[in-house]
Structure formats: structure tokens, C-alpha cells
Structure 1
């Protein structure tokens, strides 16, 4: 059992080649559903699952339909989670990308899906650039204020 975070910072569960998203939270257990759209796969974990990562506490309650387990998807989810965690580190983007791709069990297939070391390092650099732009806003003179149609305002950094 592994826990990942999606791009929206939501928790995902990796178990035996399948990836699940959190479905329902109950008093003593959490229900997870397969992330594939038409799959009926479901699993259940105790509510203290986050403190027991690495243990085999997952119970599959409904079998998957229409697809087979894919370890590459789990490796990619693990790499994406690590990229979000390591984007603030001082290491070079190329070094982070090399280390992450070398740590996977099927690095050839994962590398193809993530466009290799070069593609992954470009993604890390883009994340860092985006993060730095948002940190550069110190006062309202450094930003555009955009009025959205739904009545909300959005703050965007000025590009030099």
C-alpha cells in the first residue's frame, strides 16, 4: 500500500498495480474507488491508514472491470508526488529527474511516459518558475487583479 497525492493535492492509494481515489470516509473505515472512469473496483482501509503506510491493510471489496493492474501507473504517481515535494530543494532539476527515474522498477517504460530525464527536468523547472512567480507578489503593484464573471477576483503576477 502506497499513498500518493494528485495534482489537486487529493490523496490516492496505490495497491497491487491499481490506483484508487478516496470515495467515502466513515467512522472506522475509508472507501476507495478505482481511478479509471468505468471501472467498478473498490477497496476499503481502516480510518488510520495514513499512519500504517507500507502495511497490507487494504481489503478489495469489488473486483476491477475492463483493465489489468499496471505498475507503471503507480510508479508515475509516485514520481509526480516526489516532484511536488522536491520542487523547493536546492538540487538541480536534472539531478532530481535522474534520481527519480533510476528509483523506479520499470524505468524504461516510465521514462517513455514522462519523456525521459529531459522532459521530467523541464516539468520541475516549470513548477519552480510558477512557484517563484507567485512568491514575487509583494504588493498590488506587482500583480494584475482580474475580475471573473462569477463575481470573484483573481490575482495574477505581472510578467516583465
Structure 2
């Protein structure tokens, strides 16, 4: 009698382990954690030596203040801005097909997605209330992405004309 209890227990453990392995194998592969982006800081957004392009025009004013300039992974320009009074935004520019989206950017996770044109340039505006907002557009073989982690209401809409209308990049 005691042997049959042990045999039944062994079968139950084996069945549970088998089921666990099957469930584990059936799960989609987990996304690998992203490694930290390799960045180099520049004084001006001219990356001719490393990336073969420069951001030749970008907005600056009394309320749009450019702070830092980066080259990410030798292919994406990033310009950090302070938006007065006390907000921030980041502009990324890359050759078509080379854009590296910010960590956590999922175009399907936003509450609203709007598409419109500014000066004939198609713009996509991603927004969730009280959360990150993103604008994307392309011009002359370059992709542009403006994002704000904690924008005030309608901040990106207000910045759209200044950024989409001004930002230019060229091959060097």
C-alpha cells in the first residue's frame, strides 16, 4: 500500500513538472531588456564625422531653449530642450529607417493618435492624458520625433508648428 502512494505521488509530481515545462515553452519569448544607449555629447548638432549628417535648422526662442546635443549609437541626433516654464522635450533626428524610438515607446499604447499636416508635411501625434506625448514626421530623407515625458495639456500641439516647420537635416 505504501509503495502505491509513493508511485502515485511520483506520477503527480512528474505530471506537474511536465505541464509546467509545456506552459513555459509555449510562452512567447520575453523581450530582452534594452541595453543602455551609447551616447556622445556634442556642442552643436553637426555629426558629419561620426554619422554623416547634421541637423541644420531647429527651433530656439525665449521659451524653447536648446540645452544639450547628443549622438546616439552613431546614427540618431537628440537635442534636449527646456520648454519654459519648466517642462522639457527631446527632438530626435535620424536618416529614414534608422530612428531609435525612446524606451517604452509603443504606438499602440496611446489613448489618442491624430494625423494632420503642417506646411504640407504629414505629422502623427500620439498622446495619453498626463503622460508622454510624441510627434513624428519625415522630411527630405530624415525621420523626426519630438517627445515630452510630462507635457502640459496641449504643449506638443503648441510646439508642433515650431518644430515641424523649422527642423531640417542634411547629409554631410
TM-score (norm 1): 0.24
- Higher relative contact order structure (alpha carbons within 8 Å, sequence separation ≥ 6): 2
Structure with the larger helix share: 1
TM-score (norm 2): 0.22
